[in-house]
Amino acid sequence: MSVTADKATTPPGGPARVDRRQWTRLLATASSRARGRLGLALTAVVVLIAALGPRFAPYSATQFVTTPFSRPSAHHLLGGDDLGRDVLSRLLAGGWVLLVMAVAATAIGLVLGTLAGVCAAYLRGRWDGIIMRTVDVILAFPTIVFALLLVSVVGPKLWLIVLAVGISHAPQVARVMRAATLEISERDFVKAVELWGIRSWTVMRSEVLPNLSSPLMVELGLRLTYSIVIISGLSFLGFSQPPPAPNWGLMINENRLGLVANPWSVVAPALLIALLTIGTNTFTDAVGRLAIGVGRGSEETAVVAGLAGAVMMGELQQFPLDEGVIEDPEGADNQEPAVD
Amino acid sequence: MTESTDLVVRLSVENLQVNLAGKDVDVVSEVSFSVAAGEVLGLVGESGSGKTTVAHAILGYARRGLEIAGGAVRLDGRDLLGLPPAELRRVRGASVAYVPQDPGSALNPVLRVGTQLREILTAHPGTVANVGDRVREVLAEVSLEATADMLRRYPHQLSGGQQQRVALATAFALRPSLLVLDEPTTGLDVTTQRHVLETVRDLCATYGVAGVYVSHDLAVVRELAQSVGVMYAGRVVEFGATDVIFNAPAHPYTARLLRAIPSVERSHVLEGIPGQPPRPGQRPAGCSFAARCPLVVDLCRQGPPPVVSVGQGVHLSRCVKAAEAILPPVQQALAGAARRADNADSGGLVVRDLRASYGDTEVLHGLDFQVAGQSCLAIVGESGSGKTTLARCLVGMHPKWRGEIAFGGQRIPQGVRARPPEARRALQYVFQNPYTSLNPRKTVEQLVEQPLGYFFNLSRNESHERVVKVLEDVALSTAFLRRYPDQLSGGERQRVAIARALVVEPDLLICDEVTSALDVSVQAVVIELLRDLQVRRKLMLVFITHNLSLVRAIGDQVVVMSEGRVVETGPTDDVLDRPRHEYTVRLVEDIPKIGAASGV
């Protein structure tokens, strides 16, 4: 037969990229945008303060070194707190536990939620019903009340708070992952594998999961932001480390009486929590915008349809265009390696 | 290029150039042609050739990321590209109309047909005296009855053909002088397509409209257009009267394209065009087709080929060898070798009283047919005929069927899960769309190796060897092993999908419309490949298609399906040359024909 072997040239897109994992590419692209860079910078500043702070703390976080609510001075840059401890030292020492708890809660929420969502969507039928109704029940509990309930029964254990917050995240994650999995499991490549009679678990792990990285990244950022807010809120209420320990949420509560005397004792921890949530949220937003722009096929159809309508009505100039630059002309999206 | 006929030139496009926005990279350049009043120009080309970009540019529109960089589009002498935006808006709709590919998306789903038509007429006030009369008139022209019931319908209550007629009616409502159609019959079945094409031709002739019909389907263009422009890599490589282009193509690309087209009328081996067209920004200094051209000479690579006038009348070709561009004859010998490979029945495919339903609706009403093994069976039917359901029953994706399916003397259980691993291995399936059937996160090697891991217990080296060997069988070199699907062209992807099915050495390969997402030149390559593999590997091949023209090239036996029933079955040549069932007769008649003399 006259089938001609293709020449072994490099594809037009240039040499194969080394790293093909979608999530790293997504993060790299997001970090290169202004929005992503801002978010990353804010987050990094707060994380660095929390991580390296204890080493640079001028005083011990628990010793009484100055007068309560003393104003900032050369020796105590942010003044003293309600018991005369150094605010700066407590600030530098008080973020790490909060961060670790938020990350752990997020991880628990993501793992549980993804497991539930993917299973519900892929296995369908009975499993879908059981999992999603359970999710609905959990969703009916307000997070804070749920956590308070657990803590008041078992006692203020850190792992318990992490677990409570993690579990309360799972339903939202499950819903998003279920929707994404429903779409992916309809694709032909999943069916192709099913036709070999492969176990469902393997199909979910090797075919579905790798294609969920975009929604996962977005959920990760979103849940991390919520975790920070909820856990600092719980700390403020006293459900976290017991009092002598420094903690940003707790500091706000302890020092609120001296807000007028030494505003920094309240404003500084509040500011750090705010910067952290704004940072993670801004970065997530950058990732989310990219992730939504990933599916470019539907955009094409919409443009053509809109064009037809616009030409008919003679309104082409007002014709709205989607974001995202189409680099390849003439449906070459399908023909050639997508460069992105 | 100017038309030297007595007819009035309505549209003339001169040196049109479209660039990537902000860059000096041309997507389309040096495009010139003209269309006379009442005539239709067919603009043909494969995906990526720039035909849709040209169609949009004629409307003064460039897709985001592109910009019209030069040239003129004159409609009755007035340059549309030079008009101020407000003026251009007035022209569009009133004297320029556009019909897109998918009528379903062109019509507003929440507006009734009547409202939709009236809206266009009232948006350009003063053009029509009586709106109601014009609506009835224009609907009659597209063979729809303007009953109150029809006017009150929503687009989703119409069939695909009716939707396209309404879209045509809206286009013709204001009596434009230019109509641009972008593959408006893709997705319609052949009978509906024929009616729509006739309507377009008649209306253009009646109202002196210049039509530009963009299509990848050369057979459709042959039926409809008076002149043809063949596009390749952003340029018109050949332009001339339809008959001349099809009977005596002067550009090697046109000639090869014609050979790649399957046809119902004649039995021949399809000849694909290996390679891919260059992308914008990577086009060579010389002829863009040089890398794939069988007649290439050094001169081709040195500079852009001149536009040469060939023969009598207007016939232009962008080729240095236009005058003597004659390809070697089609390899006829292969046809004989490939076709007569059927041998004694060694366990064929038997389907008895197969009934399948979705919910309470039965979609297959008792299918019966029997085909000898190690041959190629083509299953043909229009959309809704149940051919895909049949394929899904065969592979076990649709487990709710009754009746009997046996292959190689063994009855096959309903669903995939009920089948023993051996049966699942023996029967492999290739999906229609290679853009969705390969996991984008896996390399070619991982994709092809995957089924081996499930069906065999092989060492790493053994399975790697098998993967390399099967890729060789589908004409892909080892350089492809580490590539990801998005680095492959459509044809390459489909070959990977075929390799993935073949690597487990199946006895029955089911191909569901595997070429419908591919260009004709690539389709021909894939068909050749399947034919060749079927013979060499002694496979039984079931090829499901809506395209009757492909059947000649691939099928030994054919089963014609309609509305969930088998209407005719038999050897391919018998069925196509002497169809007995009226449905088959109509199907064969309605297919657009390329014409007898394209042997070049």
- In the numeric block, which tokens belong to residue A156? 């203020």
Range scoring the smallest mean pLDDT among A299-313, B106-120, B141-155, B165-179 = A299-313
Q: Kindly report the nearest CA distance between residue A171 and chain B, in angstroms.
A: 27
Predicted confidence at residue B48, as pLDDT, reads: 78
Predicted confidence at residue B325, as pLDDT, reads: 54
Confidence of residue B429 (pLDDT cuts 50, 70, 90): very high
Tens digit of each residue's pLDDT, chain A (340 residues): 333 433 333 343 333 344 456 677 778 887 888 888 898 999 899 899 888 888 888 888 788 888 888 888 888 888 888 888 888 888 888 888 889 999 999 999 999 999 999 999 898 888 898 999 998 888 887 877 877 888 788 877 888 888 888 988 889 899 999 999 998 888 889 988 888 888 888 888 888 888 888 888 888 888 988 888 888 888 888 877 778 888 888 888 888 888 888 888 888 889 999 999 899 888 888 887 777 654 333 333 334 444 444 444 444 333 333 333 333 333 333 333 333 3
Measured in whole angstroms, the distance separating CA B582 from the mean position of its chain's CA atoms is 26
Which of A209, A213, A218, A177 is closest to A22 using CA atoms? A213
Cα–Cα distances (Å) from A75 to A65, A71, A265, in that order, read 10, 11, 15
Q: Kindly report the nearest CA distance between residue B6 and chain A, in angstroms.
A: 31
Please name the member of B56, B397, B517 whose beta carbon is closest to the beta carbon of A195.
B397
What does the DSSP assignment read for A74-106? SSSTT-B-TTS-BHHHHHHHSSHHHHHHHHHHH
Averaged pLDDT of chain B: 83
Q: Kindly report the nearest CA distance between residue A30 and chain B, in angstroms.
A: 20
Euclidean distance between CA atoms B383 and B587, whole angstroms = 13
Does residue B306 sit in helix, strand or coil?
Answer: coil
Interval B327-352: pLDDT, tens: 655 444 344 434 444 444 456 888 88
B65 touches chain A (CB under 8 A): yes
At B429, the amino acid letter reads Y
Predicted confidence at residue B564, as pLDDT, reads: 87
Which of B202, B168, B201, B271 is closest to B42 using CA atoms? B201
Which of B542, B536, B435, B551 is closest to B493 using CA atoms? B435
Whether the complex's predicted ipTM surpasses the cut of 0.85 = no
Determine, for residues A313 and B90 on separate chains, whether the beta-carbon distance falls below 8 Å. no
Determine, for residues B102 and A335 on separate chains, whether the beta-carbon distance falls below 8 Å. no
Which of A258, A5, A195, A223 is closest to A114 using CA atoms? A223
Q: Taking 50 as the threshold, does the pLDDT of residue B157 lie above it?
A: yes
Euclidean distance between CA atoms A127 and A251, whole angstroms = 45
Q: Taking 80 as the threshold, does the pLDDT of residue B313 lie above it?
A: no
Euclidean distance between CA atoms A106 and A89, whole angstroms = 28
- Which strands sit side by side in the sheet containing B210-215, from one edge to the other? B96-99, B178-182, B210-215, B40-44, B227-232, B235-241, B315-318, B307-309
B167 touches chain A (CB under 8 A): yes
Q: Taking 70 as the threshold, does the pLDDT of residue B326 lie above it?
A: no
- Which range scores top for mean pLDDT: B54-58, B278-282, B410-414? B54-58
Q: What is the mean pLDDT of residues B210-221?
A: 88
Q: Which is higher by pLDDT, A330 or B242?
A: B242
Q: What is the mean pLDDT of residues B573-590?
A: 86
- Which strands sit side by side in the sheet containing B540-545, from one edge to the other? B427-430, B508-512, B540-545, B376-381, B557-562, B565-571
Q: Taking 90 as the threshold, does the pLDDT of residue B399 lie above it?
A: no
- In the numeric block, which tokens belong to residue A21? 């994992």
Cα–Cα distances (Å) from B405 to B216, B367, B397, B409, B505, in that order, read 38, 10, 14, 10, 21
Q: Are B73 and B18 in contact (CB under 8 A)?
A: no
Q: Are B306 and B320 in contact (CB under 8 A)?
A: yes
H or E segment to which residue B120 belongs = helix B113-123
Predicted confidence at residue B212, as pLDDT, reads: 93
Determine, for residues A312 and B170 on separate chains, whether the beta-carbon distance falls below 8 Å. yes
List the beta bridge partners of residue B349: B371, B407
Q: What percent of chain B has pLDDT over 90?
A: 8
CB-based contacts of B423: which residues, under 8 Å, 6+ apart?
Answer: B410, B412, B413
CA-based nearest residue in chain A for residue B184: A308
Q: What is the mean pLDDT of residues B17-41?
A: 87
Buried-exposed string A294-312: b where 16+ CB fall within 10 A, e elsewhere = eeeeebeeebbbbbbbbbb
Which of B343, B371, B378, B383 is closest to B552 using CA atoms? B378
Q: Are B544 and B516 in contact (CB under 8 A)?
A: no
Q: Which is higher by pLDDT, B180 or B312?
A: B180
Q: Taking 50 as the threshold, does the pLDDT of residue B596 lie above it?
A: no
Euclidean distance between CA atoms A286 and A284, whole angstroms = 5
Which of chain A's residues have a Cβ under 8 Å away from the Cβ of B98?
A: 307-308, 311-312
- In the numeric block, which tokens belong to residue B28? 């389309």
CB-based contacts of A48: which residues, under 8 Å, 6+ apart?
Answer: none
Which of B297, B225, B254, B272 is closest to B49 using CA atoms? B254
Measured at the CA of B535, the angle between CA B533 and CA B539, to 5 degrees, comes to 75
Predicted confidence at residue A299, as pLDDT, reads: 35
Q: Taking 80 as the threshold, does the pLDDT of residue B321 lie above it?
A: no
Cα–Cα distances (Å) from B99 to A106, B179, B583, in that order, read 51, 8, 30
Q: What percent of chain B has pLDDT over 70?
A: 92
Predicted confidence at residue A292, as pLDDT, reads: 64
User: How many CA atoms lie within 13 Å of B158's alpha carbon, on the beta-carbon side?
Assistant: 27
